[in-house]
Every structure is written in C-alpha cells, then in structure tokens.
Amino acid sequence: MKVRSRSSSIPTRRSKPERRSNTPKRWTKTAVLRKLQQLADAKTRAKLECFGVNVVKAYGISTPALHALARRIGKNQKLGNELWSSGIHEARILAALIGESDKITAAQMERWARDFDSWDVVDAACCYLFASAKPAWDKVYEWSGRRGEFQKRAAFSLAAYLSYKDRAAEDEQFERFLRVIEREAHDERNFVRKAVNWAQRNVGKKNLRLNKAAIRAAERMRGQNSRSARWIAAGVLRELKSEAVRERLQRKVG
C-alpha cells in the first residue's frame, strides 16, 4: 500500500478574506482627476458637443456618473477649489457638486465666473452652489450687465434657480429683476437669450402675482425693436398664459 506522504496529511490553511477598511477614502485632487480619466467616454463627449457644450477640455462623462462620484466624495469646498483650478470640464462641474454654499464668498463667485466657458458649467455652479450662497442676488445684478456671454448667462441662470430655491425672497425682489430682463432681452446670443427666457418663465410660475407681472413684462418686450426680445416674449407668454400653469397657480392659492 502506498504510504501517504507526511506533507499530504497536513490540512491546507485557507486564507481569510481581505477585510475592507471602514476608513473612508481620502480624496485628493490627483485621485479625483485619475478617477475622472477612468470614467472618460468618447461617445459621451461627442454627445456633449452636439448639445453645444465646450468640450475642448472635456473627458466625456455622464451627469449620473458625476453625481455618483460627488456623493462618494462628499462636501469639500477646499477640494472643490482645487478641482476648479484644473481647468478640466468635468472637474469643474464636480467642484460645484461638492462645494459648500455657506463657505462661498462674493470674491470666490467672481473668480469662478471669470473662468466660465460652457453653459453646463455655468448652470451647475448656479444650481448646486451659488443659489444658496449669501452673495447670490448681488451677483445676479452685477453679472446681468457683463459683456461675456457665459458671465451674462450666469445672471439669468442664477435668477432662474433662485425663483424656487430662495424661499425667503419677497415678490418685490423678483419684480425688480423683471425690469432687468426687459433691459437685457435684446441680447441675440443664444446662451444668453435662452437663460433670459428661462428666468422669466420661472419667475412667472412662482405665484399669481408674479405670473401677471411676468406677462406684462413680456407684452412690453413684444413691442421692442429686437428679434431676441420678441422671441423671448413669445415663449414666455405661451407658457405663462397656458391653462396648465394658471390651474397650478390657482391650486397654490386654494
């Protein structure tokens, strides 16, 4: 009979499964940029370009992927500033997503605004960061008179978000801004006039009083000697006079 070798009788010891550390990953600028490179997708980049996004420094990353990464990182204004300074398109959107509104100053908003070069970066910064910052209304008025297309868009994008994010603002604040809309409705640049239209429609959907005020402003704009103003007015009147909007505002009163 074959003798069993001594070594074969020794039970093999199974290695224990690797334990995952409960310590959260420390995200650095380098680590985040590396992750963004891993998420890059040429097809997504091509789609972004079709929507008028400036893709010169873009990787091509979907919005859901950026939001998922932002949730993993958590709020971190310092890291947000570092990512913004990279100049990479998606890094700047991510910077807005992880930023902390209570730490945003007027100077900070101004520094970022100088770098605006694409409508989606503008809207991300205004929606997720600037709309809850203390200097928001001041910047709305300042930027509305700027020459730069994306800086000017930022004024109206920010106002559009403030129309439903700023619950403390009085109707008079929005009525005052409608005068700014009338003043700037002549701007023919696509990303500006679309934001003007958007802001006016949002203001007019807050309540019945502002609905009437926005409609009156649009009717005056319709008489301006400006193709852009007439285009904005047509879209605003079509929506704000619709049965759907009127019924919703009536329900809010009831």
Query: What structural domains and CATH numbers belong to the chain?
Result: 26-99 (no CATH), 110-254 (1.25.40)
Enumerate residues 6+ apart whose C-beta is below 8 A from 157.
122, 123, 126, 127, 195, 198, 199
Per-residue pLDDT of 82-136, as tens digits, reads: 999 999 999 999 999 999 999 999 999 999 999 999 999 999 999 999 999 999 9
Pure H helices in 62-148: 63-73, 77-85, 89-98, 106-115, 119-128, 136-143
Per-residue pLDDT of 176-226, as tens digits, reads: 999 999 999 999 999 999 999 999 999 999 999 999 999 999 999 999 999
- Residue where the block lists tokens 């005020």: 213
